[in-house]
């Protein structure tokens, strides 16, 4: 029999429902895996065996007494450390929230609880989701399960690494500029950023509110579809959730490539590592041989995406993170005894260097004399990027790009230079700025045995089309899932 930890999400769901697998047995196998492996991967900031196992036992009891909450009852799920669960610490991998125990559930957690999922908090991340490698965590750097001398991507590095290391079948992360798709790509699994407004942000500790979305990671596509169906939808606690037709997992079906118009990058714009370039070219050739038409798109606006992203995201973060003042919750440093000192002493002690950098940049671009040239200008540039995507989808059905210009880099390789680190998100940030949905799919390994990710992007609220193309892509021989069986 296949070791339980290597079951796919779909196999787990089937076995739990046909009675051949107990949630407690599955969860025990994952706990054993985490205990044996996480000292190398460092995906978890904390995990409380007793509390996790208790949830699984409760699920098994519900199943025994015929009081099952749903067909998902008993499925384990990992949670990024910025999504609130009642009674659990939610620290955003920051010292300022080191002891913050959430008094409420995020809306996504509430929806998953109603279905009976078993929660595995807390997965490591870059502090306040600011970073592309998890090296900005105040506690630990998560390692890539394919090569533990390398980073797993970020900011949701713990969520991606836990699934890739077979410590969990699915997890939740958040994506502001690529924080789900880039780690999914670097860890060789699926990770989806929903359309802005598709999933409630209530209970997601805010970084940049106009860009943030919660989304799933999974070791198969059914996990992505199922989680999207459960977590998405209108929520009166988040005014920016959209009143649109709900996404249904059953709406996803394979596409016939014949006659499909696929938006691609122009070959002169392939500034990727040679292996990423080669694999992207191979995939496009294969789609062409199946009858699809490749349509080169003008991505020249893309070079502005990172500057625009940094101006907007940091402006929003300087505002959002002003709530951490040492008064009502979080770290408090008394300072010189005056209120003003308490604010600045608490914030100076509680935030790490990258968070401070971004707060300062955001404060600068919003400050008198600079607002129009920076924040105001970036807002207008964002409109142009959004319009560019609308134009794209008038001429193509879907867009295919690599998710990341390179595969996983070494720990420490880019920490000295913030701008080099920012470049890791060159292909993902424009998607957040436009608000459209995108998924990173596994696309084989490079010559060093490291995963390559393929980013598929569709138009607003068309997750059905997005996942249908992802499904057909996963059926290509060169895009099959490969996970490391041994972690060294």
Partner 1 sequence: MDEKELKNIAHLAKLNIEDTEVSSMLNDFSRIVQYVDEIKNLDTTSVGDDEIYEQIFYELRKDFAENGLKRDDLAKIAPSYENGYIVVPKVIET
Residues lying near partner 1 in the complex (CB under 8 A): 100-101, 103-104, 196-197, 234, 236-237, 239-243, 301, 303-304, 307-308, 310-311, 318, 322, 325-332, 334, 337-345, 347-348, 351, 356-357, 359-361, 363-365, 367, 373-374, 377-384, 386, 418-419, 422, 435
Q: CB 238 → partner 1: shortest distance, Å?
A: 10
Which residue, 15 or 101, is less far from partner 1 as judged by CB? 101
| CA within 13 Å, CB half, 341 | 6
The CA distance from 417 to 439, in Å, is: 28
Q: CB 121 → partner 1: shortest distance, Å?
A: 17
Cis before 131? omega within 30: no
Q: CB 343 → partner 1: shortest distance, Å?
A: 5
The CA distance from 303 to 265, in Å, is: 13
| Kind and range of the H or E run holding 23 | helix 23-41
Q: CB 346 → partner 1: shortest distance, Å?
A: 9
Structural contact between residues 44 and 162, judged by C-beta atoms closer than 8 angstroms: yes
Compute the CA torsion angle 310, 185, 386, 286 (nearest 10 deg): 150
Q: Which of 133, 179, 225, 232 is catalytic?
A: 179
Structural contact between residues 184 and 172, judged by C-beta atoms closer than 8 angstroms: no
Quote the tokens at residue 463: 């997750």
Q: CB 243 → partner 1: shortest distance, Å?
A: 5
Which residue, 2 or 243, is less far from partner 1 as judged by CB? 243
Which residue, 140 or 335, is less far from partner 1 as judged by CB? 335
Which residue, 90 or 428, is less far from partner 1 as judged by CB? 90
Q: CB 296 → partner 1: shortest distance, Å?
A: 22
Which residue, 23 or 346, is less far from partner 1 as judged by CB? 346
The CA distance from 121 to 9, in Å, is: 18
- Residue 80 appears among annotated catalytic residues: yes
| Kind and range of the H or E run holding 288 | helix 274-289
Which residue, 106 or 276, is less far from partner 1 as judged by CB? 106
Quote the tokens at residue 367: 């400050």
CA neighbor of 367 nearest in space, from 320, 311, 324: 311
The CA distance from 343 to 353, in Å, is: 17
Which residue, 434 or 481, is less far from partner 1 as judged by CB? 434
- Residue 155 appears among annotated catalytic residues: yes
Structural contact between residues 88 and 210, judged by C-beta atoms closer than 8 angstroms: no
Phi-psi label, residue 415: left if phi above 0, alpha if psi -120 to 50, beta otherwise: alpha
The CA distance from 129 to 143, in Å, is: 17
Which residue, 72 or 100, is less far from partner 1 as judged by CB? 100
Three-class SS state of 78: strand
Instruction: Give a three-class secondary structure readout of 330-372.
Output: CCCCCCCCCHHHHHHHHHHHHCCHHHHHHHHHHHHHHCCCCCH
Q: CB 54 → partner 1: shortest distance, Å?
A: 22
Unique residue bearing structure tokens 């971004």: 358
Separate counts of helices (H) and strands (E) for the chain: 15, 10
Quote the tokens at residue 335: 């300072």
Beta bridge partners of residue 297, listed in sequence order: 265
Phi-psi label, residue 318: left if phi above 0, alpha if psi -120 to 50, beta otherwise: alpha
Q: CB 364 → partner 1: shortest distance, Å?
A: 5
Rg of the chain over Cα atoms, rounded to whole angstroms, equals 21
Structural contact between residues 75 and 169, judged by C-beta atoms closer than 8 angstroms: yes
Q: CB 177 → partner 1: shortest distance, Å?
A: 14
The CA distance from 344 to 325, in Å, is: 8
Which residue, 181 or 198, is less far from partner 1 as judged by CB? 198
Q: Which of 42, 80, 115, 193 is catalytic?
A: 80
Instruction: Give me the active site residues, please.
Output: 80, 155, 179
């Amino acid at each position: 029999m296949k070791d339980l930890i290597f079951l796919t999400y779909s196999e787990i769901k089937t076995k739990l429902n046909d009675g051949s697998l107990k949630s407690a047995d599955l969860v025990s196998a994952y706990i054993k895996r985490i205990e044996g492996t996480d000292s190398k991967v460092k995906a978890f900031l904390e995990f409380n065996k007793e509390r996790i196992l208790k949830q699984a036992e409760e699920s098994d009891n519900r199943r025994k007494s015929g009081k099952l909450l749903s067909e998902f009852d008993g499925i384990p799920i990992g949670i990024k450390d910025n999504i609130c669960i009642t009674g659990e610490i939610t620290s955003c991998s920051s010292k300022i929230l080191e002891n913050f125990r959430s008094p409420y559930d995020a809306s996504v957690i509430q929806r998953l609880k109603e279905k009976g999922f078993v929660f595995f908090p807390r997965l490591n991340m870059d502090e306040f989701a600011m970073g592309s490698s998890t090296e900005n965590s105040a506690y630990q750097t998560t390692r890539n399960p394919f090569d533990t001398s390398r980073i797993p991507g970020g900011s949701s590095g713990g969520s991606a690494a836990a699934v890739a290391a077979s410590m969990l079948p699915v997890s939740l992360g958040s994506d502001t500029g690529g924080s789900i798709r880039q780690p999914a790509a670097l860890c060789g699994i699926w990770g989806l950023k929903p359309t802005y407004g598709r999933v409630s942000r209530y209970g997601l500790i805010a970084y940049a509110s106009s860009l943030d979305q919660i989304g799933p990671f999974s070791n198969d596509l059914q996990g992505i579809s199922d989680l999207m169906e459960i977590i998405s939808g209108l929520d009166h606690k988040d005014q920016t959730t959209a009143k649109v037709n709900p996404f249904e997992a059953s709406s996803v079906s394979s596409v016939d490539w014949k006659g499909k118009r696929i938006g691609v990058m122009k070959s002169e714009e392939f500034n990727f590592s040679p292996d990423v370039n080669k694999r992207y070219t191979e995939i496009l050739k294969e789609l062409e041989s199946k009858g699809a038409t490749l349509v080169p798109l003008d991505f020249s606006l893309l070079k502005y995406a990172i500057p625009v992203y940094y101006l907007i995201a940091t402006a929003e973060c300087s505002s959002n993170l002003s709530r951490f003042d040492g008064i009502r919750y979080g770290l408090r440093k008394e300072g010189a005894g005056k209120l003003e000192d308490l604010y600045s002493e608490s914030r100076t002690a509680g935030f790490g260097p990258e968070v401070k950098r971004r707060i300062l940049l955001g404060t600068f671009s919003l400050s008198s004399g600079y607002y129009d040239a920076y924040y105001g200008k970036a807002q207008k540039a964002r409109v142009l990027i959004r319009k560019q995507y609308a134009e794209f989808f008038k001429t193509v059905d879907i867009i295919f790009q690599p998710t990341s210009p390179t595969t996983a880099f070494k720990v420490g390789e880019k920490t000295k230079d913030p701008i080099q680190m920012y470049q890791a998100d060159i292909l993902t940030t424009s998607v957040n700025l436009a608000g459209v949905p995108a998924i990173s799919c596994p696309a084989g390994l490079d010559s060093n045995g490291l995963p390559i990710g393929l980013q598929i992007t569709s138009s607003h609220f068309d997750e059905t089309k997005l996942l249908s193309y992802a499904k057909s892509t996963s059926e290509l021989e060169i895009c099959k899932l490969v996970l490391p069986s041994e972690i060294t």
